[in-house]
Chain A
Amino acid sequence: MKKVSVVFFALAIFFVGFVFAEEVFTLEQPAFITSAGQSPGALQMTVVCKMVKLDYTFEKLMTADDFDPQAYNCAIFVVGASGKGLGAAGIDIDEETARVVALAQKAKDNGLPIVLTHLEGAARRGASSDLLFNELSPFADALFIKEESDAADQMFSNIAEEKEIPIFFFEKTADLKNVISEVFGL
């Protein structure tokens, strides 16, 4: 009986450890970063990545055709729609949505983990930004979200819950450093 208890206890520890190990979400460098919506959020992301010395490549208008998934170990989409940014790029929201969805599809098909980020707070929430996020969310393996972005309607929390994917919150943009360091093991 004692032996059975020990075995059962050992199995229980193993199982619990296994479950917890499954919950730890990690990513590997180099990372590919693109904008989804052409707001400056993606640039903010690159500055934070530079601060933590992450190996990354940033192409704000990368297309699926030009994307080489073999060159990267993960893809990060920074969501935020800017009328000025889209106008400067000479594209509209429909074209931008088509671009990022095709890019995410290619990344997914090639086994790259995909992270969606929203780091510009409530000021960058709106119909276009939400549209982009919702179109990309089926591809997401994790979300990096500023707390203020989620505060009003918990849209990001709900997506993470529905998809059963991890969501990493940060209060201020500079705090994103901690999330990236943790996930990439820097």
Chain B
Amino acid sequence: MKRRILAFIFYILGVIAVCIIATVSFISMKINPVLNGPGVTETVKLSNWFEGIKNTNMDTNVYVFDSGVEGGSILILGGTHANEPAGILSAIVMLENIKVETGKVFIIPYANNSAISHNDAMEGAPEFYHIDLPDGSTRDFRFGSRRTNPTDQWPDPTLYNHQSGSTLGGGEVSNLNRCYPGDPDGYPTEKLAYAIVQLIKNEKVDIVIDMHESSPEYPVNDAIVFHQNAAELAITAQMMLEMDNIQIRLEESPVNLRGLSHREIGDSTDAMVLLLEVANPSQGRLRGKTDEDLVVTGLDKFYVQAAKEGKLYAPYDENGYPISLRVARHITTIDYIIQSWNMMSEKQILIDDIPSYENLINDIGSFLIEHEG
């Protein structure tokens, strides 16, 4: 009898231990990592612009680079979709390296902070990936989800009736890039979109860049999607990129595609809005094993085969599409967008120490500060 009671107690203790470990692990995923860089002048919460997300997992860090010299301003968004790591990593590389000489830069690496706190286990997605640093150590980064964590927003409706009148699938109300321009009284993700739009309006942001990744079989790939007000900016940047032998496609934001950053922020604010896409096989439906290696190298044998059969919209071969290349494309595109802006506007944005395309491809780790991710 005594043995049975002891076995029962050990069993209960074991269950409690598992629960505690799982809880600690789960809660730790919700801690927004604080980053830093030599040019950051202030780190503030997005809730500064809309209190409705304060003390929730939707709130996120905004890194401000204020030169103190009057000029233009730009908001750079990574992590709108937290399973598109090149956008997040590009934002982190920029914030850990740049210094702003004229104008003001805002960087939000985890635009949907809730989405980085979980991942898509049913997609076989990894929880983390790491980048090698020059000293031999590694830096770990989370791999998140396209959508808001259900513990922050649940349940979603069967259909999402966007305020524009469009009807979307219900799950899209958890997708930040379908919730713009946001709703202060809506779902948490709609509140998040509203907060970002308030930042843009209140800070009179001139340019907004939203960084993404896309499946190589998707036609809008390695592309700049631009609101019509930003056409000249996008086209000039494209021509500059082309001069450096970086091919990028242009797509104008369709007026009837609602809820997306390039459409709604462009319509509802004075900012010029551009969305960047870069090909990533770990996003695609043709991929095989989905692991950290695929995220970092972008190499998948099924995509190699698809490329040979002419099924892809991105140049792809046995070299894969590594994250260093994807980040290099994003950052160089941002650099040329800013240069284009400076050619057109008196409100200059002058930034030093943007890592170059070649250096990022060769050794992205040397542009990351050696601390936790």
- Measuring CB to CB, which residues of chain A are less than 8 angstroms from any residue of chain B? 40, 43-44, 47, 50, 82-85, 87-88, 90, 120-121, 123, 172-174
Q: Which of B148-156, B203-211, B245-253 contacts A (4 or more CB under 8 A)?
A: B245-253
Query: In the complex, are the beta carbons of A123 and B247 less than 8 A apart?
Result: yes
Instruction: Verify B242–A87 contact, CB threshold 8 A.
Output: no
Residues of the A chain whose Cβ atoms lie less than 8 Å from the Cβ of B255: 88
Find residues 195-242 in chain B having any chain A CB closer than 8 Å to their own CB: 219-220, 226, 231-232, 234-236, 238-239, 242
Listed residue (B220, B232, B242, B256) with the most chain A CB atoms within 10 angstroms of its CB: B242
Q: Are A172 and B242 in contact (CB under 8 A)?
A: yes
Instruction: Indicate if the CB atoms of A44 and B235 lie closer than 8 Å.
Output: yes
The docked-state distance in angstroms from the alpha carbon of A173 to that of B236 is 10
Contact B242 A173 (CB under 8 A): yes
Residues in A whose Cβ lies below 8 Å from that of B243: 172, 174
Interface of A is mostly: helix
Interface residue B254 (Cβ < 8 Å from any Cβ of A): yes
Q: How far is the CA of A53 from the CA of B255 in the complex (A)?
A: 29
Bound complex: CA of A24 vs CA of B256, how far in Å? Answer: 45
Q: How many A-B Cβ pairs are below 8 Å? A: 54
Q: Which chain B residue has the least Cβ–Cβ distance from A60?
A: B252
**Nearest-CB residue, chain A, relative to B222:** A123
Q: Is the CB of B254 within 8 A of A85?
A: yes
Contact between chains at A174 and B242 (CB < 8 Å): yes
Would you mind naming 12 contact pairs between A and B with Cβ atoms under 8 Å apart?
A40-B226, A40-B231, A40-B235, A44-B239, A47-B231, A82-B251, A83-B219, A84-B220, A88-B252, A88-B254, A90-B256, A174-B239
Q: Does B19 contact A (CB under 8 A)?
A: no
A43-B252, A44-B250, A84-B252 given as contacts; is B235 within 8 A of A172 (CB)? Answer: no
Measured in the bound complex, the distance between the Cα atoms of B254 and A121 in whole Å is 21
Residue of A nearest to B235 (CB): A47
